[in-house]
Amino acid sequence: MDVSDKLAPLRSEFSLNPGEIYLDGNSLGPVSKNVGVRVNEVINDQWAKGLVRSWSAAGWMAAPLTIGAKLAPLIGAKANEVLVADTLTFAIAKLVGGALKLRPERNIVLTDVANFHSDIYIINEVAKWAGRPIEVRTINRNNLAEELNENVALVEFTQVDYRTGEMLDMKSITKMVHDAGALMMWDFAHSTGAVPLDVEGCDVDFAAGCGYKYLNGGPGAPAFMYIREKWQNVIENPIPGWLGHARPFDFELGYEAALGMQAFVTSSPSILALASLDGALDIWSKTTMSEVRTKSLALTDLFIALVEERLPGVFEVVTPLEHAKRGSQVALRHAESYGIVQALIERGVIGDFRDPDICRLGFTPLYLGFTEVYDAVDRLVDVMNSKAYADPRFKVRNAIT
């Protein structure tokens, strides 16, 4: 299978540890060679030699928009609809705050009870800024139709569940929300670079995602936000700053928003972090999301089949078997999941644990081969047969799991 794999040559673009099988790219992607090239260029040329002149000469000031345009095709957006800045939580805060102003007669925000906790934290906090009472309801996403009514202003869901890898039907959910007169926002943290996305075709209003998972932009890489063109110059940035001003270097005391996505730039961009993400994005010119998706499904199909064949009845495969509902990870449920993950890591298979009982394993087609899937299952079988997961060391969890 590796011999006929069109994406196999891309593995050489990444710096990977010999002997390790890296199944945690859904948490932190590995570094690619282009990242080092781009960051060194910024440090040794633009910063060291250009100094302050590089804000203009090297395009530093425009970087949030130019890198956003580079990322836009990965979510099916227009080049002028994506901005790279801040972190994901801040991006969500800006979009939720702005969206609530667009539906002033409505007072309910719906989000998923299984959503990533940071999303829920920031939505609850931003709701307090609205200037009117806002009720945030955390619901079972499968009951969305029953929860929608004329008082719902905004729905915010994560498109691929961070625990289970379940992928939601973005088009049908967005239409359901719009039919109820509400706005739809998506969190693409576990989607971008993992599954094909079409915000244009799905009529998505707003979206945000991070740069350090499947995009491989580095730890704490900048996030991105998407605002559909029709909402630009209508939605307001609730955290305005000088670089979102129409004339930032006039240093006016009164605020007038810039046009387009520039209005959602708040403060000076982090140039080194942006350079890292910019370099990481270069690899996407060498493949397509269709090719990535085909291989992703083949990798996860193979892993699931091997686990069920070699360890029958040992794990519950939580990730949907149906392709249309599967992201690019596999979640295995077992009462000893934490110890299993730690024992795998000691054997060179890097995954992670999600409370209370999930072994979470990411399958990133850019650098993972089919042989590694077979080898990973071999090591998993060894962990289970030897009961290495029962080692007393694993009874105490690390701070980061």
212 is catalytic: yes
Contact 14, 35 (CB under 8 A): no
Catalytic, 360? Answer yes
pLDDT value of position 204: 98
- pLDDT for 17: 94
Which residues, at least 6 apart from 16, have a Cβ–Cβ distance to it below 8 Å? Answer: 22, 30, 367
Per-residue pLDDT at 394 = 84
Per-residue confidence (pLDDT) for residue 396, from 0 to 100? 76
The pTM of this model reads: 0.94
Beta bridge partners of 226: 82, 207
- pLDDT of 150: 97
Whether 378 sits among the annotated catalytic residues: the reply is: no
Q: Which two tokens stand for residue 295?
A: 């291989």
User: Known catalytic residue: 367?
Assistant: no
d(CA 322, CA 195): 14
Quote the CA–CA distance of 116 and 113 in Å, as a whole number. 9
Catalytic residue among 106, 228, 295, 360: 360
Question: Could you give the domains of the chain?
Answer: 8-30+288-395 (3.90.1150.10), 35-285 (3.40.640.10)
* 203 classed as catalytic: no
Q: What is the pLDDT of residue 52?
A: 96
212, 303, 367, 370: the catalytic one is 212
Selecting among 5, 187, 205, 278, the annotated active-site residue is 187
Catalytic residue among 116, 157, 162, 206: 116
Q: What would you report as the CA-atom Rg of the chain, rounded to the nearest whole angstrom? A: 22
- Write down the pLDDT at residue 75: 98
**pLDDT tens, the chain, 401 aa long:** 778 899 999 999 999 999 999 999 999 999 999 999 999 999 999 999 999 999 999 999 999 999 999 999 999 999 999 999 999 999 999 999 999 999 999 999 999 999 999 999 999 999 999 999 999 999 999 999 999 999 999 999 999 999 999 999 999 999 999 999 999 999 999 999 999 999 999 999 999 999 999 999 999 999 999 999 999 999 999 999 999 999 999 999 999 999 999 999 999 999 999 999 999 999 999 999 999 999 999 999 999 999 999 999 999 999 999 999 999 999 999 999 999 999 999 999 999 999 999 999 999 999 999 999 999 999 999 999 999 999 888 887 887 76
Instruction: Out of 141, 213, 295, 347, pick the active-site residue.
Output: 213
